[in-house]
Amino acid sequence: MLGRRRIRERIEHVLSLSKADQTEVVFMGETEQLTRFANSYIHQNVGKEDVGLRVRVVVGKKIGIASTNDLSDAALERALESAMTAAKFQQDNPDFISLPEPQSIEEIDGFVESTAACTPQKRAEAVRSICLPSREHALNASGAFATRSFEYGVGNSLGVFVYYPTTLADLRTVIMSDSGSGYAAAASLDVEEIDAESLGQEAIDKALRTRNPVDLPPGDYAVILEEYAVSLLLTYLAYMGFGALALQEGRSFMVGKLGKKIAGENVSIWDDGLHPKNVPMPFDFEGVPKQRVDFITTGTANAVVYDSYTAGREEGKNSTGHALPPPNSIGPFPWNVAMDPGQATKEEMLASTKKGLWVTRVHYVRPVHPLKTIVTGMTRDGTFLIKDGEFGRPVKNLRFTQSILEALSDVEMIGHDTKMGREGFMEDFIGGVRVPALKIGKFTFTSTTEF
């Protein structure tokens, strides 16, 4: 960890040398310790430290970007020179107005010393509490336990300087039998909140109950989606339409829908970078403070997120604090998405279902028709038939092809507990998706698998 003073000094060194009309410097530093396990044994313990500094210069309406992971004076000067050269050969961007001015940033404490200081021995003890019970049941446990420290700093020639250190602990495990598997995961700023033994038991239980799955024909089924499945589907929903650039370019499902009903009245989805139960970050990668944005409120499409560039393209809009690090082709993106919980327990969802499917997790999700929010993917690590309010036989995994918004328009019950997931490409961001479990009246499965 370099600390606020050292990072500010490096950023201001670049700013002091720049001859551009405007200059921005983004610093990102990470220290990661990772313990991997497979076949119920630890097979790797690794550590890494990395820093990155990105320079964005504005010359007239031309923009150039360069990066380096060398913080020496000479390397920073080369990065600045490269950014200036890149700007020289760019076309004017008529939509660019300005880098952001300084704004007040809310102070939050996201750095947990116990996470930053977590030792290989402590991670090994956590992994042991998963592997030993797995061996006792003749199961194979695999997964990874990571503890990370991050530092972010943003400064620009208009007077912006912000700094934020944070931590993250992330444990995931897949436990396999000869014909089934179970999954469990948890993430938190505080490593002490990761209950490895409980996660192991959750995955072991699924692995034992998924043995000898039966075939089930494709078709429309009522489903209970655990939080793991919901978090990945909401990640893809965010990707397909909660950003202003997608809206402006006509490729968002929100086009023409703002102010209109697009989901059930019991569905509200939002983003809040200061939410204490997610992975908070008080500003974005332009140094703009995070704002809460309500995407869908009681089923009605309400808003999308902006960075300074997309806000400048629309009259009366301001950045909501959702810029990604430059260079960035997808525009602003929400990485603290959450869904309002309901009142139901998963046991109540199960008891209320005469016939349906219980889905623990989904994977290999890909957009098919973003404007209709249709995605395809596979169930994984615990899919069960539900009959007369009780678990039936485990079933072989199924491929689904389903509109997410259609599913969210048919939500019959919402869990009162929530979990924070970092599924899919959400792993690339300091954030997560906090969601409840859902019972959905109809979900379309289009084909079967052999496992």
pLDDT in tens, 215-244: 999 999 999 999 999 999 999 999 999 999
Instruction: Give per-residue pLDDT as tens, 340-375.
Output: 999 999 999 999 999 999 999 999 999 999 999 999
The whole-number pLDDT of residue 450 equals 84
Q: How does pLDDT run across 86-108, given as a tens digit for each residue? A: 999 999 999 999 999 999 999 99
Residue 45 pairs in a beta bridge with 35
4-207 belongs to CATH 3.30.2290.10: yes
Q: Is the dihedral of CA 176, 177, 179, 183 positive or negative?
A: negative
From the list 240, 234, 239, the residue with the least C-alpha distance to 370 is 240
pLDDT tops 80 at residue 427: no
Look over the chain and give the mean of its residue pLDDT values, rounded to a whole number: 96
**Residue 185 in this model has a pLDDT that exceeds 80:** yes
pLDDT at residue number 232? 96
381 has pLDDT over 80:
yes
Given a cut of 80, is residue 331 above it in pLDDT? Answer: yes
Task: Give the amino acid at 373.
Answer: T
Mean pLDDT value of segment 156-183: 97
Please identify which residue in the block is written with the tokens 């446990």: 141
Tokens found for residue 215 = 């075939």
Judge whether residue 423 has pLDDT over 80. no
* Average of per-residue pLDDT across 389-410: 97
| Cα–Cα distance measured from residue 129 to residue 195, given in angstroms and rounded to the nearest whole number | 10
- Name the residue among 65, 126, 404, 40 with its Cα closest to residue 253: 404
Which tokens hold the place of 27? Answer: 């610093």
> Which tens digits make up the pLDDT trace of 252-286?
999 999 999 999 999 999 999 998 888 999 999 99
What confidence score (pLDDT) does residue 276 get? 83
Q: Residue 424's pLDDT is what?
A: 72
Indicate the pairing of strand 398-403 with strand 293-297: unpaired
Token reading at 220: 């429309």
- Which pLDDT score is estimated for 314? 96
Under the banding of pLDDT at 50, 70 and 90, the label for residue 431 is confident
Question: What's the pLDDT score for residue 21?
Answer: 98
The whole-number average pLDDT for the span 412-426 is 88
pLDDT given for residue 422 in this prediction: 86
Question: What number is the average pLDDT over the span 166-178?
Answer: 97
Strand partners, 131: none
| Domain ranges across the chain | 4-207, 213-448
Mean pLDDT of 375-393: 97
Give the pLDDT confidence of 296-319 residue by residue, as tens digits: 999 999 999 999 999 999 999 999
> What is the pLDDT, as a whole number, of residue 278?
86
Q: Which string of b and e fits 363-401 if b means at least 16 CB within 10 Å?
A: bebebeebeebbbbbbbbbbbbbbeeeeebebbbbbbbe
What share of the chain has pLDDT > 70, as a percent? 99
Residue 213: count of CB within 10 angstroms of its CB: 19
What is the predicted pLDDT for the residue at 263?
A: 98
Pairing, β 432-448 against β 411-421: antiparallel
Mean pLDDT confidence for 15-20? 98
Cα dihedral: 54, 327, 284, 163 (round 10): 0
CB burial of residue 138 (10 Å; 0-12, 13-18, 19+): exposed
Mean pLDDT calculated for residue range 139-165: 98
> Given this model, what pLDDT does residue 319 score?
98
Q: Which two structure tokens, joined as six digits, stand for 437?
A: 């479990």
Q: Each residue of 31-89: pLDDT tens digit?
A: 999 999 999 999 999 999 999 999 999 999 999 999 999 999 999 999 999 999 999 99
**Six-digit token string for 150:** 């991050």
Q: What is the pLDDT of residue 246?
A: 97
Packing angle of the helix pair 120-136, 196-209 (nearest 10 deg): 30
Using the predicted structure, report yes or no on whether residue 451 has a pLDDT greater than 90.
Answer: no
Decide: pTM greater than 0.85: yes
